[in-house]
Every structure is written in C-alpha cells, then in structure tokens.
C-alpha cells in the first residue's frame, strides 16, 4: 500500500468537524408531504406534535426552510467521544475485486452501540433532558436503536423504556443485556403492558411482533406517563437532520483530498443513514452545483421503495401515530420469518420518498443470501465484520465495482458502512450452515398488504 497518496483512513481534525446539521428540505423544490393528524386529516403543527415528541424536536420536524441547525455544545462534545467517524479507502477490497473503481466507505460502527443510530439518539435525549422530561420510550427491532438510546440516556440521566420486537428479543439476548447494562428497561413486544399490545395479542396470539406494533406500544406508554415522550430512531425528518453529520463529515474528508464521488450508495430501512449520507451531496445536486448518482438498497423481502406505493399510510400497526406520505408496503406488512437482515420497516422516510418520486434517488432490492455472501467477502477483504443491514450497501457497491472492471471505468464509489455485525451471528450461522433462504413476496401479497392503506377520501381535504 506504499506510495498511495490517499491514506487508508481519512480522519478530520476535531476543529474540522461539522458544527451544524444540514436540513436538506431547505433545498428541495418539492417538499416532503406533511405528517397528518389521523383524526382530522389536517397537517400536524409543531404544537400538536409536542404531545408526543419533545418541543424542540417537534419544531425540527416541521421546519422545511432553515438550512442549518447549529449543533448544541453538549451534543458536540458527546460526538467527540466517538467521532469523527473514519472515511476508509477500501484498497484491499478494490484489489481483491481487481476493479479500477475507487471505493470509499464511511464507517459508523466505531462506538459501543455499533451503528450510526447514536448520532440521533444523543440529540433526542439531549432535547428531552433540556425540556425537563424524566424519561423516553421507544421501539427497537434488531436492537441497535434501543442500544444507542440507552447509551445516550445513561449519559444524560434519563429513564429509557424500550419495546423490543419479540422475535429479535428472543434471537438477540445479548443486545437486550447491553441495553440493561446502560440502565434501560426492555420489554418484548407485543406485551400485555399496553392496551394496544393486548389487542394485537388477542388478534394474533403467538406473533413475533413487528416494528409497527412496538411503535404503537411505546407511543401509548409515552402519552400515558407524565414527564415522558416518545422517540423514534429513523424515518422522521428530525432524524434525517441529525444524521446529516454522516454526510457532512464524509464530504469534508473527501474535499480535503479533492475527491468527488460519482455514485453514493446506502442501505435503506427507514432511510436515516442514507438520508444523512447523501444530504450535502444531494443539496449540491438540487442547487445545480454538482451531479451525483444516489442509490438506495433495500431487502427483496421488504421492498418499500422498489415495490411499495407512494401514499399516505399509518406509521404503526396500532394506527395511533400521524399519517406519513411515503413509499410503503402497508402498516400490516411483516417480512417473512426467514428474513434476517434488518431493514424491516414497512415505510420509508418522507424525504427520501419524495426524492425517489422526483427521480433524484434510484432504488434497488437484493436477496439476503447475496447480501450475506457480500458481507463475508467484505469481511475477508477489509477485516471489519459488517452488520447485515450495512451489507446491502456493500453488495450494491461491489456490483458497481465489478461493472467498472468490465467497462474499465474508474468510478469513485462512496457507500455507508452503518455498523458492525457482532450481534448478528445467529444470522451469519444460518448463512454458513446453508440454511438461509430468500423470500421474495409475490405481487398478490404486496397488493393485499396495500389494500389496508388508509382511505384518504374520508377526509375533507
Ligand atoms: C437501523 C440500522 C440501519 C437502517 O436504518 P436507516 O434508518 O435506514 O438507516 C442500517 N444499518 C444499521 C447498522 C442499523 O442499525
């Protein structure tokens, strides 16, 4: 690796770290559609939203004009504990793939929670604490968000109550213990603790749960507990805002060496890491200053962006949350039980959904056995053990690099490596034992799930 001018890892100095989050909505011509009150069909004001979210986060949620939000000093100093995240030139992967492409990845797994989720968890916990609240509730699927929020709450002295999707509570007992180590209480969802949980269990006894169910439970508890608010780790505009730190740092690091990516790739569950990674680059594209290709990669078994409808839908199974206009598979959609790779939310960030609808964001889906094969290839080349979620982006980046090998193009590829896979060894085991299968829902299944979209004609809009 001698004589290469670009270092293996590009770090920013502390003084070069971004001091403000970037709000991509400020540069979007077609703004994402507002959240609607399910009772009236009218847009939710910041004031209405602050029954569920804390006030500053509600304000961030509805602000589509302010381009930059200064990051509070306390959050900046927390960021300094694990940021800047390295931007890595994947020299070893390039060599193994024999590609002329230049591959970079932004690695967000460098903290104990193991993913990018901590970037928003600390911001959300900070504003809750500042408002004088005593605790927060949330849902977690694979467990990374719950872990990140537990860490942030422990740091600030807030109570943290996590509803964890039951299948993953059972499959990932160590995730649960990490959260309890940070002082959070963790309940498998659906549970008998909430009205909505009891209702769901009565209808579907023995269900393994879903993110949509766990959200309903967490919201119910937050609204019934004085001094508590609900927080969400993805999908929302406020989360995209906090996650812009990923893209701002990546861009600053690339600018330092005069590198310009041709294509930017990220995995997409609810859209927060991808939205954050692309934000400053997409901003340049929207302002006509530069051009890039952006690719969202989702699992073939939960294909909201590639096969869902762009429509208003419920954000949760219990239908207690505001309605969001997004690419969705319907709030009842639950990926097949053999799905192991995370990214299982039925909808997608309204910001990314709007960009997709406007033709600014491409989307592809990949089957999970190919994702795990790419994960293994990457681990053997680069050393880092990737999270299955991140490996969707790895798969797409490798395919792009292989195309470059065939065409001789020297493209520069940037992808988001969102986290590490240490708690996903059950899924890796299935893959290694040859027991992992792919499940791709039929058009009929998707149409059926979409038939439960809310009937918007009932509102007098
Ligand atoms: C949660 C998570 C994702 C997906 O969430 P987005 O909001 O789509 O970013 C991806 N990778 C990791 C490691 C995660 O924990």
- CB of 267 closer than 6 angstroms to any ligand 1 atom: yes
Strand 228-230, strand 309-314: pairing: unpaired
Instruction: State the pLDDT at residue 3.
Output: 44
**Per-residue pLDDT reduced to its tens digit, 362-395:** 999 999 999 999 999 999 999 999 999 999 999 9
Model confidence at 1, in pLDDT bands (50, 70, 90)? Answer: very low
Query: Residue 197 to residues 59, 98, 427: CA-CA distances in angstroms?
Result: 30, 52, 27
**Per-residue pLDDT reduced to its tens digit, 223-260:** 999 999 999 999 999 999 999 999 999 999 999 999 99
Distance CA 219, CA 51 (A): 10
Judged against a pLDDT cut of 80, whether residue 84 lies above it is answered with yes
Nearest-atom number in ligand 1 for the CA of 420 is 13
For a mutational test of ligand 1's pocket, the pick from 110, 120, 267, 366, i.e. the residue with the most ligand atoms closer than 8 A to its C-beta, is 267
- What is the rounded (10 degree) CA torsion for 333, 302, 341, 163? -30
- CB of 115 closer than 6 angstroms to any ligand 1 atom: yes
Model confidence at 339, in pLDDT bands (50, 70, 90)? Answer: confident
Domain range annotation of the chain:
10-16+72-114+238-456
> By alpha-carbon position, which residue is closest to atom 2 of ligand 1?
389
Among the residue ranges 4-13, 149-158, 183-192, 422-431, the one predicted with the least confidence is 4-13
Judged against a pLDDT cut of 80, whether residue 182 lies above it is answered with yes
Instruction: State the pLDDT at residue 332.
Output: 86
- CB of 387 closer than 6 angstroms to any ligand 1 atom: yes
Contacts of 254 (CB under 8 A, 6+ apart): 10, 87, 104, 260, 261, 414
268 C-alpha to center of ligand 1: Å? Answer: 7
- CB of 146 closer than 6 angstroms to any ligand 1 atom: no
- CB of 135 closer than 6 angstroms to any ligand 1 atom: no
> By alpha-carbon position, which residue is closest to atom 4 of ligand 1?
269
Distance between the two ends of the chain, CA-based, in angstroms?
A: 62
- CB of 118 closer than 6 angstroms to any ligand 1 atom: no
Q: Which has more confidence, 321 or 365?
A: 365
303 C-alpha to center of ligand 1: Å? Answer: 15
Distance CA 107, CA 353 (A): 25
Model confidence at 439, in pLDDT bands (50, 70, 90)? Answer: very high
Instruction: State the pLDDT at residue 341.
Output: 81
Judged against a pLDDT cut of 80, whether residue 4 lies above it is answered with no
- CB of 421 closer than 6 angstroms to any ligand 1 atom: no
Cβ atoms of 291 and 277 closer than 8 Å: no
> By alpha-carbon position, which residue is closest to atom 13 of ligand 1?
419
Nearest-atom number in ligand 1 for the CA of 233 is 7
Residue with tokens 């020299």, as numbered in its chain: 91
Domain 10-16+72-114+238-456 has CATH 3.30.1600.10: no
- CB of 237 closer than 6 angstroms to any ligand 1 atom: no
Among the residue ranges 164-178, 249-263, 267-281, 353-367, the one predicted with the least confidence is 164-178
**% of the chain residues with pLDDT over 90:** 89
Whether residue 278 has a cis bond before it, omega within 30° of 0: no
Instruction: State the pLDDT at residue 2.
Output: 41
- CB of 138 closer than 6 angstroms to any ligand 1 atom: no
Give the mean pLDDT of the chain. 95
Sheet holding 159-165, edge to edge: 185-189, 159-165, 135-140, 228-230
Strand 185-189, strand 159-165: pairing: parallel
> By alpha-carbon position, which residue is closest to atom 10 of ligand 1?
389
Chain centre to alpha carbon of residue 305: 14
- Coil, helix or strand for 140? strand
Q: Which helix (H) or strand (E) holds 312?
A: strand 309-314
Q: Which has more confidence, 308 or 51?
A: 308
- CB of 269 closer than 6 angstroms to any ligand 1 atom: yes
- CB of 273 closer than 6 angstroms to any ligand 1 atom: yes
Instruction: State the pLDDT at residue 340.
Output: 82
Nearest-atom number in ligand 1 for the CA of 269 is 8
Judged against a pLDDT cut of 90, whether residue 434 lies above it is answered with yes
Q: Which residues pair with 167 in a beta bridge?
A: none
Instruction: State the pLDDT at residue 371.
Output: 98
310 C-alpha to center of ligand 1: Å? Answer: 21
């Amino acid at each position: 690796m001698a004589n290469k001018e670009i270092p293996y890892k590009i770090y920013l100095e502390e003084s070069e770290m971004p001091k403000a989050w970037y709000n991509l909505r400020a540069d979007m011509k077609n703004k994402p559609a507002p959240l609607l009150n399910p009772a009236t069909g009218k847009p939710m004001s910041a004031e209405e939203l602050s029954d569920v979210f804390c006030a500053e986060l509600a304000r961030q949620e509805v602000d589509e004009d302010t381009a930059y939000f200064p990051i509070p000093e306390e959050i900046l100093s927390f960021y300094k504990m694990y940021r800047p995240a390295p931007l890595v030139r994947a020299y070893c992967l390039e060599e193994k793939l024999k590609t002329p492409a230049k591959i970079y990845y932004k690695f967000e797994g460098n903290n104990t929670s193991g993913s990018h989720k901590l970037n928003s968890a600390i911001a959300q916990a900070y504003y809750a604490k500042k408002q004088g609240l005593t605790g927060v509730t949330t849902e977690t699927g694979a467990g990374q968000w719950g872990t990140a929020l537990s860490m942030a709450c422990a740091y600030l002295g807030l109570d943290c109550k996590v509803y964890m999707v039951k299948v993953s509570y059972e499959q990932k007992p160590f995730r649960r213990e990490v959260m309890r180590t940070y002082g959070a209480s963790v309940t498998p969802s659906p549970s008998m603790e909430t009205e909505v949980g009891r209702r769901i269990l009565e209808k579907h006894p023995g269900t393994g749960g879903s993110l949509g169910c766990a959200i309903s439970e967490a919201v119910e508890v937050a609204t019934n507990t004085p001094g508590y608010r609900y927080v969400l780790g993805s999908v929302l505009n406020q989360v995209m805002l906090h996650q812009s730190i990923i893209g701002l740092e990546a861009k600053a690091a690339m600018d330092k060496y005069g590198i310009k990516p041709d294509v930017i790739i990220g995995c997409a569950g609810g859209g927060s890491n991808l939205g954050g990674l692309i934000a400053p680059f997409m901003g340049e594209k929207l302002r006509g200053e530069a051009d890039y290709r952006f690719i969202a990669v989702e699992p073939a078994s939960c294909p909201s962006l590639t096969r869902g409808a762009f429509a208003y839908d419920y954000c949760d199974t219990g239908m207690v949350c505001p309605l969001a206009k997004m690419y969705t598979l319907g709030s009842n959609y639950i990926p097949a039980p053999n799905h192991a790779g995370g990214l299982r939310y039925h909808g997608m960030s309204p910001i990314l959904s709007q960009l997709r609808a406007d033709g600014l964001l491409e989307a592809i889906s990949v089957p999970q056995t190919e994702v795990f094969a790419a994960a293994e290839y990457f681990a053997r080349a680069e050393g880092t053990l990737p999270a299955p979620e991140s490996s969707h982006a790895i798969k797409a980046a490798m395919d792009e690099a292989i195309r470059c090998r065939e065409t001789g193009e020297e493209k520069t590829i940037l992808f988001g490596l969102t986290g590490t896979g240490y708690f996903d060894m059950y899924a890796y085991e299935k893959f290694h034992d040859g027991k992992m299968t792919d499940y791709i829902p039929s058009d009929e299944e998707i149409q059926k799930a979409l038939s439960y979209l809310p009937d918007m004609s009932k509102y007098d809009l």
